[in-house]
Amino acid sequence: MHFDASSVVPLFHQIAQQFTAGILSGAFPEGSQIPSTTEVARTYAINPATVLRGMNELVDAGVIEKRRGVGMFVVHGARDRLAAAQQAEFFAAQVPQVVRQAQALGITAAQLTAAIEREYSHE
Amino acid sequence: MSEIKFKNVTKRYGNKQVLRGVNATWEAGKIYALLGRNGAGKSTLMRIVNNRTFATSGAVTLDGKSVVENEAAQNRIFLMSSAQLYPADRRLSWLFALTRRMYGGFDDALATHLLDAFELHDTAKIGQLSTGYQTIARLIIALCVPCDFVLLDEPVLGLDAPARELFYQELLATYAERPRTFVIATHLIEEVADLVENVNVLAGGEIVLAEDVATVLAKGRIVSGPAGLVTDYLRDTPVMRKQALGGMLTAYTLDAPLERPLPAGVTLAGMDLQRLFIELTRGERHEK
């Protein structure tokens, strides 16, 4: 995990993002226990309140669950849920950004579409 | 909930007014950064809390009672500073025992762990330790006392980078185990930015910023782009400083209008705690 202090993304959200990436990549499999707030706080020298806030984002999203006295676990179905959320985020945020950049450079819709199709056909 | 409160605290040394009316609250169980330029009065403020000096006027209270010559309050407060208060010919083990008697407790298990982590022996004589190891010895004591309020004045002075990182990790480990208030006065802002929950900035003899770090950084931005577009984007927004280079403008604000669409050609960068501190205390005259 790596955290960027000067990022516009708040640190607690970066923590949620790093765990999300870990779950999507399979580093934290569904049903497995994830490191505790204390462990994360100590390892990366981050205030536990910040770590907890990031973890709570994932609890609220139904991706991890707290088991009293035991710790936090990745819920079953978390990967599908996260993948769907990331796709929605991609269409809502990144596609408009790419289109705006293309427009600023004078690239037409047809040119952009053609470039995307070429990129897909490389696979 | 316990808290240390400052009410209009002033301090004058001769004709030099160091503190001009400090108002602040340090709550139980939180980690604070106390930031200020050289000579801003950070050490003075901490020393007042710990009765090593006294305020010229105003009050410092712990749970509503003045801390001045208040033994019950002082037993709950620990100040770690670079002042050399310990006899050079004594061993660390003697110092730990003395601390236990003074504060009515000492976390031996943690001390043993920290001695091991920093590769120090309690048979070492205080006067024979290097600058860095003297700091480490003082830090071990600060983390092992049973006090609810631990004030750390320049805690990593003379420590190399790996030792500093180890200290920050050990601080958070013991904090997670036994939450208490830590106030860290330091110039190494980047290193403590993620560690602390709240920040107090001392400038011009007053606390000019006392805020949750996440809140203060949430809307702090560095806005750059063509001057007209940046100015229009930041209309009605308080700006700390503007820097022009040809037709390009860079503006520093704590209250970016994030709800407004960002004009093409204008970029937003985050403001970290160190940049915020520099902008906030810019123009503060360096005086000794």
The pLDDT confidence band at residue B285, using thresholds 50, 70 and 90, is low
Chain A residue nearest residue B267, CA to CA: A8
Say whether both A87 and A54 belong to one domain. no
> Following DSSP, what letter does each residue of chain B receive, concatenated?
--EEEEEEEEEEETTEEEEEEEEEEEETT-EEEEEE-TTSSHHHHHHHHTTSS--SEEEEEETTEE-TT-HHHHTTEEEE-S---S-TTSBHHHHHHHHHHHHT---HHHHHHHHHHTT--TTSBGGGS-HHHHHHHHHHHHHHS--SEEEEESTTTT--HHHHHHHHHHHHHHHHHS--EEEEE-S-HHHHTTT-SEEEEEETTEEEEEEEHHHHHHS-EEEEEEHHHHHHHTTT---SEEEEETTEEEEEESS--TTSPPPTT-EEEE--HHHHHHHHSTTPPP--
Query: Pick from A76, A96, A111: which residue ends a domain?
Result: A76
pLDDT of residue B155: 95
Residue pLDDT, tens place only, A103-121: 989 999 999 999 999 999 9
The pLDDT confidence band at residue B287, using thresholds 50, 70 and 90, is very low
In a domain, A17, yes or no: yes
In a domain, A1, yes or no: no
Q: Given an 8 Å threshold on Cβ–Cβ distance, is B264 in contact with A100?
A: yes
Say whether both A34 and A52 belong to one domain. yes
pLDDT of residue B288: 40
pTM of this structure: 0.88
Least confident range of A50-54, B214-218, B231-235: B214-218
Domain B3-212 has CATH 3.40.50.300: yes
Say whether both A19 and A60 belong to one domain. yes
Q: CA-CA distance, B173 to B167, in Å (whole number)?
A: 10
Report the domain count for chain A: 2
Tokens of B182: 């830590």
Say whether both A53 and A36 belong to one domain. yes
Among the listed residues B109, B178, B108, B107, the one whose alpha carbon sits nearest the alpha carbon of residue B149: B178
In a domain, A40, yes or no: yes
Q: Given an 8 Å threshold on Cβ–Cβ distance, is B272 in contact with A5?
A: yes
Say whether both A59 and A70 belong to one domain. yes
In a domain, A6, yes or no: no
Say whether both A68 and A92 belong to one domain. no
In a domain, A39, yes or no: yes
The pLDDT confidence band at residue A2, using thresholds 50, 70 and 90, is confident
Q: Which residues in B lie closer than 8 A to residue A49 (C-beta atoms)?
A: 197
Structural domain of A102: 79-121
The CATH number linked to A61 is 1.10.10.10
In a domain, A69, yes or no: yes
**How far, in whole angstroms, is CA A54 from its chain's centroid?**
11
Q: Given an 8 Å threshold on Cβ–Cβ distance, is A46 in contact with B173?
A: no
Say whether both A65 and A93 belong to one domain. no
Residue B25: count other Cβ atoms within 10 Å of its Cβ. Answer: 15
Residue pLDDT, tens place only, B163-182: 999 999 999 999 999 999 99
Q: Which phi and psi (to 5°) does residue B36 adopt?
A: 180, 155
Say whether both A27 and A56 belong to one domain. yes
In a domain, A19, yes or no: yes
Residue pLDDT, tens place only, B31-45: 999 999 999 999 999
Least confident range of A64-68, B69-73, B82-86, B229-233: B82-86
Segment A12-31 mean pLDDT = 94
Say whether both A66 and A49 belong to one domain. yes
Q: Given an 8 Å threshold on Cβ–Cβ distance, is A47 in contact with B195?
A: yes
Amino acid occupying residue B91: R
Domain locations along chain B = 3-212, 221-270
